[in-house]
Amino acid sequence: MIVIRDLCKSYATPSSTVTALSEVNLTIDKGDIFGIIGFSGAGKSTLIRCLNRLEEPDSGSIRIGDHVITDLNDKELRLARRKIGMIFQQFNLLDAKTVWHNVAFPLQVAGHPKPYIRERVAEILELVQLSDKAGAYPAQLSGGQKQRVGIARALANEPDVLLSDEATSALDPQTTYSILELLQDINRKLKLTIVLITHELDVLSHICRHMAVIEGGTIVETGTVDQFFLNP
Ligand code: ADP
Ligand code: ADP
């Protein structure tokens, strides 16, 4: 379902060129929960941001379902991105909007009619167990509740894939597990493919079925999580 081939990305800085990704190859099955783990600076964030072209790769290809993401023009990319949800470490919510409007926003941008938006927002807020917070502003929520809003917003347009960029790294352990369990529940109920990056082994072992280890911008290991943890 997701096929990454020979992906390269470097950043030009005033003093030098930093190679963030070098010939990355990876295949992720539809419906999987796939974890990518590595130390800080390994290239995790660059890799996951290339999947929806928040970063432009220098070369290589990315296919998600029927879309060759790396070949899309701007308009095609905008449409394809509706089917790729993303959640972030710092939640990236719209602070001036209520929970309800944060979740409605991507549906409004997609041009859905108001009655559909009302129905859909209610449905997703129920899924993430935040129906009672619809009128609250992000500043009035706990970290875990904020991330639930982030998840609800990411799911609004019924994506095929959910990308998680260290989504639990700002949360305490107990809240982390409740968010991971929500992601697992969503994966089961919606048959959604989840790709998550993390620097924490615990996060990965808790919910992922397959995983890859990234070091210095290349994938050094891939396999099932059980292989990694049962046969060191
Ligand atoms: P990780 O998410 O694993 O911490 P990143 O993808 O953020 O790794 O970074 C990979 C490498 O690319 C690091 O050496 C980092 O310093 C560098 N890098 C990331 N973003 C930029 C940028 N915008 N400009 C210059 N270098 C960057
Ligand atoms: P717009 O300016 O886009 O019309 P409104 O703020 O007037 O947005 O809200 C439009 C509709 O959104 C309302 O009729 C209501 O059904 C729904 N809505 C907005 N906020 C909430 C909320 N906190 N809880 C439930 N429904 C809400």
Query: Given this model, what pLDDT does residue 231 score?
Result: 65
Per-residue model confidence (pLDDT) at position 70: 97
Q: What distance in Å separates the CA atoms of residue 200 and residue 220, rounded to the nearest whole number?
A: 17
3-state secondary structure of 205: helix
What DSSP element (H or E) covers 188?
A: helix 173-190
* Ligand 1 pocket residues where CB is under 6 Å: 11, 13, 18, 20, 38, 40-46
Cβ contact 83:159 at 8 Å? yes
Place of tokens 């615990």: 202
| pLDDT for 7 | 98
Question: Would you say how long the chain is, in residues?
Answer: 232
Tokens 């409004």 sit at which residue?
108
What is the chain's pLDDT, residue by residue, as a tens digit (232 residues)? Answer: 999 999 999 999 999 999 999 999 999 999 999 999 999 999 999 999 999 999 999 999 999 999 999 999 999 999 999 999 999 999 999 999 999 999 999 999 999 999 999 999 999 999 999 999 999 999 999 999 999 999 999 999 999 999 999 999 999 999 999 999 999 999 999 999 999 999 999 999 999 999 999 999 999 999 999 988 876 5
Separation of CA 141 and ligand 2 centre (Å): 19
98 close to ligand 2 (CB < 6 Angstrom): yes
- pLDDT score for 232: 56
Amino acid symbol at 189: K
Whether pTM exceeds 0.90:
yes
Pocket test residue of 100, 114, 125, 141 for ligand 2, highest count of atoms within 8 A of CB: 100
ipTM score for this prediction: 0.83
C-alpha of residue 220 to centroid of ligand 2, in Å: 49
221 vs 215: CA distance, rounded Å:
9
Q: What was the pLDDT predicted at 228?
A: 85
